[in-house]
Each structure stands twice: as C-alpha cells, then as structure tokens.
Amino acid sequence: MTAMRWRRAWRLPTLPGAENDVNAITTHTGRPTDQFLLGARMFIPLAISVGAYGLVWGVLARQSGLSPAEVALMSTLVFAGASQFVALEMWDPQALPVGAIVFATLIINLRLMLMSATLRPVFKRLKPWRAALATHFVTDESWAMTMAEMARGRGSLAYLLGAGSLCFIAWLVAALAGHLLGSAIDDPARYGLDFAFTATFLALLLGMSKGKADIVPWLVAALAAIATARLVPGNWHVIVGGLAGSLVGAVIETRRERPDVA
C-alpha cells in the first residue's frame, strides 16, 4: 500500500515532500536522543488536544465512580482514549460488567493493530519483546505523526517514543486533573453534566466523519443499538451496534472498490 493510500484512509494531511512511497522509507536520522526530543517537540500541539480529551475523560471518570488510583492505572496500562471513554459509559461500580467492558475494549482498539503493523520498519532493529513493549506508545496521535515522518523518508523508534511519551504524560496528568475537577461537583445532573457523556461522544463521532460514506454505517449502528438497548439489558447495544455498523461499512466500501464483485 502506498503512502498516499494510507493518508487517505486515515485522514492525514498531506505534508510537503510526503509524496514518497512508504516502501522507500529509512528508519534512521540523527542520534536517538535528538530524535526523541524532536518527536516530543513536534507533539506539543497535539499534546494540548490530548490534554483537553484527558481532562474531559477525567471529569467523566469521577462521575462514573472511578477512584484516582483507578484513573491512573487505567490511563497508564490501557492508554487508549476511545476505549477508555466507552469503558466509563459501561462502568457501574456496584455491578461492573467486566466481560462486556473487556470485549468492547477489544473491538474498539482493533484498529491499533493496523497502526503498529504499519510502524514495523521503526521496530526492525529491536529484539521482538522490546518491540512489543514499545508498541504501547502507539496511539492515534503518535502513530499519525510517526507515519508522516516516515512518509518523508525519516521517522525512527526514538521519534515514536518521544511523541508517545509526551502523549502519555499529557493524557495521564490531564485525566488526574479532570478527576480532581470533577470531585468539586457534587450533583452532576443538577448542572446538566449528566449530558456531558452524550455530548462528548457526539462530538467525537462528528470529528471522525469522512463524509457521505459514513451515513449508512452510522445509521445501521444507531438503529441496531437502539433496538438492542430495548431488548437486551446491560451494555451489549454498544457492541451489537458497533459490529453491525462497521461490518455494513466494510461491505459497502469493498463493493465500491471492486464493482465487478456482485
């Protein structure tokens, strides 16, 4: 797959000088320390938006009944924003649906597999177990930045780790700050804060839109989820709707790419 295809697929901006093929990438440039600091420095604008995300997540985490220790542990060990938002929605401290939460996390984070797979060139000089540990720093944001570097013929493990480390610090600090902020609010529903979940998810959803191609899959997901929520207790509507919508999206997309397939 070419660099152009990837950028289109993941909605990355085309950067000047980024027209080279991914196959042509090298994985070097500069001392590791410089690369680490460069990755961290380039990440600063993104760290601000990750911080805003983290702040919202922390406030909602407090509302869902997570303790500061749980906030820190989840943000450190899971470190995947979308799945952490969904986990909060399903979180009920009195009767925690552990199986559903773990399964939803698996489904939502599957895309990270494609991301660390495309970063394989930067891991190639590492022992496999070290490379596996390094993939923990692959997030939507650090991946996008490192891919952009690779498309320009640069990009390295240290660059990924620099970007990923700043991403991690921003996420963790903001989440804990959000939790602190959230504990200042005694009755969330009185201030309309119970609506913060729905509003946040709607904004996240709209931010993911790639245009008309999303309408049918999202509609299928919405209708399947509404029907499941009526019929099945618990939070399975998230998984049923998510699977139904994404499968329909994939069917439509692959049929469009190959019109000869009936």
Partner 1 sequence: MSPDALVAILGMAAVTFAIRAGGYFVANRLPATGFVAAWMRHIPGAVLAALVAPAVVAGGPAEWLATLATGLAFLLTRNLLAAMAAGVVAVYVARLLLGG
Part of the chain binding partner 1 (CB under 8 A), chosen from 1-9, 29-37, 147-155, 174-182? 1-9
Residue with Cβ nearer partner 1 (119 or 176): 119
Return the residues of window 108-167 that contact partner 1 according to CB under 8 A. 108-120, 123, 128, 131-133, 135-136, 138
Q: Which residue has the tokens 């993104």?
A: 46
Return the residues of window 21-50 that contact partner 1 according to CB under 8 A. 49
> Which is nearest to 111 in space by CA: 36, 11, 43?
11
Closest separation in Å from C-beta 151 to partner 1: 15
Is residue 174 a contact residue for partner 1 (CB under 8 A)?
no
In SS3 terms, 195-206 reads as HHHHHHHHHHHH
Residue with Cβ nearer partner 1 (30 or 188): 188
Closest separation in Å from C-beta 159 to partner 1: 17
Return the residues of window 176-215 that contact partner 1 according to CB under 8 A. 191-193, 195-209, 214
Instruction: Concatenate the DSSP letters of all residues of 63-110 into one string.
Output: HTT--HHHHHHHHHHT--HHHHHHHHHH--TTS--HHHHHHHHHHHHT
CA angle, corner 105, sides to 117 and 225, nearest 5? 120
Closest separation in Å from C-beta 149 to partner 1: 18
Closest separation in Å from C-beta 152 to partner 1: 20
User: Residues with Cβ < 8 Å from 217, sequence gap 6 or more?
Assistant: 245, 246, 248, 249, 252
**What distances in angstroms separate CA 44 from CA 41, 154, 163, one per listed residue?**
6, 19, 9
How far is 261 from 164, CA to CA, in rounded Å?
41
Residue with Cβ nearer partner 1 (33 or 198): 198
- 197 near 60, Cβ under 8 Å? yes
Q: Which of 15, 24, 52, 231 binds partner 1 (CB under 8 A)?
A: 52
How far is 129 from 134, CA to CA, in rounded Å?
9
- 112 near 247, Cβ under 8 Å? no
Is residue 240 a contact residue for partner 1 (CB under 8 A)?
yes
Residue with Cβ nearer partner 1 (21 or 253): 253
Closest separation in Å from C-beta 99 to partner 1: 8
Closest separation in Å from C-beta 171 to partner 1: 14
How far is 69 from 65, CA to CA, in rounded Å?
12
Is residue 5 a contact residue for partner 1 (CB under 8 A)?
yes
x/- string (CB under 8 A) for partner 1, residues 87-106?
x-x---x--x-x--xx-xxx
Q: Give the binding-site size for partner 1 (rule: CB under 8 A).
A: 103
Residue with Cβ nearer partner 1 (39 or 217): 217
How far is 35 from 155, CA to CA, in rounded Å?
8
